[in-house]
Chain A
Amino acid sequence: MSDLPPRSSVKRWLVTTNHKDVGILYLLTSVFFLVAAGVLALLIRIQLLQSGGTILSGVGYNQVVTAHGFIMIFWFLSPFAFGFANYFVPLQIGADDLAFPRLNAMSYWLYLFSGVLVLGSFFQGATFMGGWTAYAPLNVPAYIPEFGEVGSFATIVALIAFVGSVTIGSVNFLTTIYRMRAKGLRMRDIPLFSISILVTVWMMLFAFAAYLAALIILSSDHLLHTSFFALETGSGPEATDSGSLLWTHLFWFFGHPEVYIVFFPALGALAEMVQTFAGRRLVGRKWFIISMALVGIQSFIVWMHHMFLTSINLEIKTVIMVTTVAISLPFDLMVFSLIYTMIKGKIRWKTPFLFSIGSLVIFIIGGITGVFLGAIVLDYSFRGTYWVVAHFHYVMASSAVILIGAVYYWYPKMTGKMYNEFLGKAHFVTSFIGFNMLYFPMFIVWETPRRVFHYDSGFTPFHLLATAGAFIFAGSFLIMFYNLFASLYSDRHVDESPWAYASSPEWAVSSPPPLDNFPGKPSFASGKLNFLDRAGTDGGAKSETATDGGVATGDETLAPPEEHADHASWWPIMVSSSVLFAGLGISGLSVSYAVWPFALAIPAFIGFLGVEGARQDGFALIHGIYVMVAFPLTVALLILFHLGIGIFEAVGNASPYFWVGLIGSVWGSYTLAGFGYESFEVPEPKMAEQWPFESVENTKLGMWAFIASDIIVFGAFVGAYIFTRFEYGWEAWWHIAEDPSAHTMAGQALEHHPVLPGLINTYLLLASSFTVVLALTAARHKGNYSLGPLTISSRQATLGFLGMTFMGAAGFLVNKGIEWVDLYLHQGWTFGVDVMSSTFYLTTGMHGLHVIIGMLVLLFLIARTYTGAYVGENEDAGTLEYFGLYWHFVDIVWLFLFPLFYIL
């Protein structure tokens, strides 16, 4: 915790956890990535100036195409929208900040550093070159040219870090929107932009979890040489029978919702802009919202329309065609709703409105051409052509165009200055012309194959036109940059709102809004926005700080006294930077070094728990023990390391990646410990509308949301296992593993796969689930326990039960370790010998990782309990409860894995 410096200070932007600051950071960073991906787009257009290409090789072109897609979709579009979400969702719902400000800052820094990783991958030989869809098995080392392996894996690691950022962000927004609305603001009453963000984060929470599982599977093929997608045989690589189809399922289960994840925030912003500039309330607002929610749910059952030409059968195709067509209908309703809102309006053709109406035109064209693709017979021919390219650019870029409009719409609010209207209009006109010149010709020459720089000579004029359009479109952004920059220094000040008929709460506060957002506690209890006095700040006196625009202040009830809230912390940027180093390191690790940087980080973490704990809570015995344990543990690991690779050769031969990875993971240990111990005050929301989660604290709701997404991660692993097993034959599965002739090298076949270790582990985990419940009960117990002559304080009892939980988990791991040593070393059943071993090691290994993380958290909780936290009258045992939720979840996952991998 530190003080928040002024905005002119660089330090402010490194330590801030305030949602408006983070929003601005998101916006600026995403614009940087827009420029980066835009330059790549121009390279594509230059390459396409003539059939056969101009400046790029085949490999170079593939890289550019791939990176353009990745960066535009992940590092520009979504974060751009979430810049606005960060800034405006709390303002629109009447919250002072997001529910977890430090985690919000961490989302941002993870996003930034993941972007650094992906851009850095260009300089690691080559970046990933298999398209943003990353179809298997072209995405594994066996089929990636050697010079591109490290950079390709770095791209995948960057994506994982990005998913981390997204998941933290989703949990944060969900909790905020459900738990921190101003009094009187029901869920259905929050402004449309915030509603669109709510639907978006719901989709994100689940879709990105599936993507995370896919990326982890892919990483394991890269790092541990498992064989989900390709088998390494004596005579070269061989694609697995199931891998190609498995990837398309995993990817598109995420990929289709992703389309709406990108589009919905823009749709919400569009509805607000149309409403404001038409001076009319949205027609059919309720149906608009229901449509969005419907699309959000349905988006998870249409993914196979991207796979009409794979080997899925006609029945499935029919079902998917129906769901796909059905999902287009709510969009019709939304478009009509926007159009009807304009009738009888008082429409001002200001820049944001121009972009709104322009984007509607673009979206209508994109939508109609999308219906073409829903007709499967047409899709067969459109597959892999520029029809698809043109269609999704019309849809995706319409989202970008809306958000550009939103920049103009909210610029006065964020800066307190008005942009230059003429330049804004000039930007719109050039960009609209450029956009259509760029993409419309693609419909005409749609027979150009996608991601190919050869086309019929007759198409050349159209591709020339498109390239010219691309440069006009790109150039139009220079006008915007100049306008926005110059306007900062203009004297066109705005007060609360420059727009008539703006209705959402952000327009009722000054521009830019103050640090804690509102002049008083916002409330809608009277039917419209009021600011209640913050009692205790000025003696509880009622004041009439009436804002303009018909907002009255002053209410009979007084808001509860405000607690002090922190706004600054160094830890988010530090934790995230460790991900940058660890990620960079991991990208170049060879398989024999793969686990060591992370194994060595574990004793480091324990040591740092002791050191940081002593610093924050005052030295206690437990801190000393942690530091003392860390040393022998490190030595033990080093001995293992020596036995494994030979420490002197290893140190001499290790690539720089090993050292970067080691530094990153040790730094991660330190920063996570620091993050955990920091006391960072975030008041629980009081006097807020919290339906349907009135009785759940913020952190618990956050934990639920996180577990929900983790369920999808494991669901995807289990799904991948079941899918793969069906492809090989459910019963034949074990025989493959046990059949020596199915393996290229002698001694790789599995002799026996005992059930007993798994069974013992089931009991161990169940017992530890029980002790964690007892720990919580003890922590909330008043007074001491007496056991005959013994008196045990509730603190001692809590510590005892936490310790027993830890021992249970440790027993689980030891048992698993023995099992793995037998399977891996003695039976030679390594990670990649067959698909079965890959699914077994990865799925149970991911579960084991959850156990290890749980144990590390337990050590932290034990230290905190020992020094006085959680137990007693004035302490909150909530943290123990939240950990318990996580721990039960880990146990339940095992209850599914055990039968699936040991018995069936």
Chain B
Amino acid sequence: MVGSGAILTSLPGVEAVATLSRTQVDIFSRLFLAFVVLGTTVGVVVISYLMYNAYKYRTDAPDADGKYDVEEETDDDVVRPQLGEIPTSAKGGKKLFLSFGLSAVLVLGLIIYSYSLLLYVEDTGDVEPDMEVNVEGFQFAWAYEYDNGFETTGELVVPNEEVVGLEVSSRDVMHNFGIRGLRAKTDAMPGQTTETWFQADESGEYQAICFELCGSGHSNMREEVLVVPTSVWEQGQENYNFDNPDEFEQWYDQTIDAWKNGEFDDQLEVTN
């Protein structure tokens, strides 16, 4: 349904797309930023407090008898561990629980926040993806099948700003299909189908990389993903019937050639 889906976007369906106000990229960036800021703060505070205490209570008073690394004192108000004692706790339990509670609240808050975003990513509501692509991993490349029936093992070509649904599986061993710049990623397992989606904000060249060790060629298992500007896609739809796999193939081949000849260079926003 490539063609009709794309046409719908320019007509009443535009609303449907508009409800997907956040792409996976947006969600990731926002959440990642929140975690980095909070994580760094917590880390700095805790580590500083640790170092501060370790430094403040340092001692190097030598043992008068030279037996131990330090003089053993038992006369101050702090009860010190003694050799052969049955172990007990030191005081400070209240403070312990206070900080434990604080950290629990912090972690729970973060997780609830991220869970709401998960629900969004997992369930795009009633919005149908504008197009669907079946992806099948094999050693060591990707095979794509568009919903018009066109198949290729070369580049994935999709339009900018449209929601692309992916159904991912594998022909042989386990792979993991990920398009890095678009934050789409899912396992490719034989006999199982997994789903994910993406929506590019910027046209350009991206890479579909395998993120699961799959054999000798794993390190080289990456292919180009070409997100063409909306204008290019729409122009293609005017000249070709995208519901017909043969016509779509013509356009596809032409587009790839044009891209390789550098004809898109000034139109693409993201390049490798």
Which residues of A approach B to under 8 Å, CB–CB? 53, 57-59, 61-62, 65, 129-131, 133, 135-138, 143, 145, 184-185, 189, 191-192, 237, 239-245, 275-276, 278-287, 309-311, 314, 317-318, 321, 325, 328-329, 332-333, 335-337, 339-350, 357, 360-361, 364-365, 368-369, 371-372, 374-378, 380-381, 383-385, 447, 449-454, 495, 497-505, 507-508, 524, 527-529, 548-551, 727
24 contacts between A and B (CB under 8 A): A58-B219, A61-B219, A137-B172, A138-B174, A241-B192, A284-B97, A285-B90, A310-B187, A318-B115, A325-B107, A328-B107, A345-B57, A345-B78, A368-B42, A368-B43, A371-B110, A380-B196, A381-B185, A452-B218, A454-B219, A501-B72, A501-B81, A550-B84, A551-B83
Of the candidate stretches B124-132, B148-156, B205-213, B253-261, the one touching chain A is: B205-213
Inside 8 A of A495's CB, which chain B residues have their CB? 67
Q: Is the CB of B174 within 8 A of A340?
A: no
Q: Is the CB of B68 within 8 A of A529?
A: no
Q: Give complex CA distance A138, B186 in Å.
A: 18
Q: Is the CB of B35 within 8 A of A339?
A: no
- The answer to whether A381 and B183 touch (CB under 8 A), given A135-B174, A282-B90, A285-B89, is yes
Q: Is the CB of B32 within 8 A of A378?
A: yes
Q: Is the CB of B123 within 8 A of A310?
A: no
Inside 8 A of A369's CB, which chain B residues have their CB? 39
Inside 8 A of A241's CB, which chain B residues have their CB? 190-192
Of the candidate stretches B9-17, B47-55, B224-232, the one touching chain A is: B47-55
Q: Give complex CA distance A376, B28 in Å.
A: 10
Inside 8 A of B219's CB, which chain A residues have their CB? 53, 58, 61, 451-454
Inside 8 A of A375's CB, which chain B residues have their CB? 31, 35, 110-111, 114-115, 118
Q: Is the CB of A503 within 8 A of B83?
A: yes
- The answer to whether A343 and B53 touch (CB under 8 A), given A244-B174, A551-B84, is yes
B7, chain A: closest CB distance, angstroms? 31
The 4 closest A-B pairs by CB, nearest first: A241-B191, A384-B211, A529-B84, A239-B190
Q: Which residue of A lies closest to B93 (CB)?
A: A284
Q: Is the CB of A498 within 8 A of B68?
A: yes
Inside 8 A of B75's CB, which chain A residues have their CB? none
**Which residue in B27, B63, B178 is a CB contact (below 8 Å) of A384?**
B178
B51, chain A: closest CB distance, angstroms? 8
Q: Is the CB of B192 within 8 A of A342?
A: no
Q: Is the CB of B57 within 8 A of A364?
A: no
| B239 contacts the other chain (CB 8 A) | no
Q: Give complex CA distance A591, B186 in Å.
A: 37
Q: Is the CB of B59 within 8 A of A348?
A: yes
Q: Give complex CA distance A549, B81 in Å.
A: 11
B244, chain A: closest CB distance, angstroms? 32
Inside 8 A of B32's CB, which chain A residues have their CB? 372, 378, 381
| B193 contacts the other chain (CB 8 A) | yes
B56, chain A: closest CB distance, angstroms? 8
Q: Is the CB of A332 within 8 A of B103?
A: yes
The contact string, 1 if C-beta is below 8 Å from chain A, for chain B 87-127, is 11111110111011001100110110011011101110000
Inside 8 A of A368's CB, which chain B residues have their CB? 39, 42-43
* Besides A281-B87, A528-B85, 8 other A-B contacts (C-beta < 8 A): A135-B174, A138-B213, A309-B194, A348-B60, A361-B47, A377-B28, A378-B32, A497-B68
Q: Is the CB of B100 within 8 A of A333?
A: yes
Q: Is the CB of A498 within 8 A of B28?
A: no
Q: Which residue of A lies closest to B115 (CB)?
A: A321
Q: Is the CB of B96 within 8 A of A287?
A: yes
A194, chain B: closest CB distance, angstroms? 11
Q: Give complex CA distance A244, B172 in Å.
A: 10
| B18 contacts the other chain (CB 8 A) | no
Q: Give complex CA distance A318, B114 in Å.
A: 11
Q: Give complex CA distance A138, B180 in Å.
A: 24
Q: Is the CB of B194 within 8 A of A310?
A: yes
Q: Which residue of B lies closest to A454 (CB)?
A: B219
**Which residue in A276, A284, A349, A385 is a CB contact (below 8 Å) of B89?**
A284
Q: Is the CB of A310 within 8 A of B189?
A: yes
- The answer to whether A383 and B57 touch (CB under 8 A), given A138-B174, A285-B88, is no
- The answer to whether A503 and B85 touch (CB under 8 A), given A244-B190, A384-B178, is yes
Q: Give complex CA distance A371, B103 in Å.
A: 12
Q: Is the CB of B70 within 8 A of A283?
A: no
Inside 8 A of A551's CB, which chain B residues have their CB? 83-84
Q: Is the CB of A454 within 8 A of B176?
A: no
Q: Is the CB of B121 within 8 A of A335?
A: no
- The answer to whether A136 and B174 touch (CB under 8 A), given A283-B93, A377-B118, A500-B63, is yes
B109, chain A: closest CB distance, angstroms? 11
| B173 contacts the other chain (CB 8 A) | yes
Q: Is the CB of B31 within 8 A of A378?
A: yes
Inside 8 A of B72's CB, which chain A residues have their CB? 500-501
A387, chain B: closest CB distance, angstroms? 10
Which residue, B174, B187, B215, has most C-beta atoms of chain A within 10 A? B174
Q: Is the CB of B84 within 8 A of A549?
A: yes
Q: Which residue of B lies closest to A288 (CB)?
A: B89
Q: Give complex CA distance A529, B60 in Å.
A: 28
Q: Is the CB of B96 within 8 A of A380?
A: no
- The answer to whether A62 and B122 touch (CB under 8 A), given A282-B90, A380-B185, A495-B67, is no
Q: Which residue of B lies closest to A380 (CB)?
A: B185
Inside 8 A of A321's CB, which chain B residues have their CB? 111, 115, 118
Q: Which residue of A lies closest to B28 (CB)?
A: A381
Which residue, B83, B99, B122, has most C-beta atoms of chain A within 10 A? B83
- The answer to whether A376 and B82 touch (CB under 8 A), given A311-B193, A332-B100, A500-B72, is no
Q: Give complex CA distance A333, B97 in Å.
A: 8
Q: Is the CB of B211 within 8 A of A377?
A: no
Q: Is the CB of B190 within 8 A of A333?
A: no
B190, chain A: closest CB distance, angstroms? 3
Inside 8 A of A527's CB, which chain B residues have their CB? 86
- The answer to whether A244 and B192 touch (CB under 8 A), given A371-B35, A508-B84, is yes
Q: Is the CB of A342 within 8 A of B60?
A: no
**Which residue in B79, B108, B117 is a CB contact (below 8 Å) of A377?**
B117
Q: Is the CB of B27 within 8 A of A377?
A: yes
Q: Give complex CA distance A450, B95 in Å.
A: 41
Q: Is the CB of B70 within 8 A of A348?
A: yes
Q: Give complex CA distance A508, B82 in Å.
A: 11
| B170 contacts the other chain (CB 8 A) | yes
Inside 8 A of B170's CB, which chain A residues have their CB? 239, 244
Q: Is the CB of A378 within 8 A of B35?
A: yes
Q: Give complex CA distance A555, B215 in Å.
A: 67
Q: Is the CB of B216 within 8 A of A145?
A: yes
- The answer to whether A500 and B59 touch (CB under 8 A), given A189-B86, A281-B87, A378-B32, is no
Q: Is the CB of A137 within 8 A of B190?
A: yes
- The answer to whether A343 and B92 touch (CB under 8 A), given A375-B35, A383-B176, is yes
Which residue, B86, B87, B92, B193, has most C-beta atoms of chain A within 10 A? B87
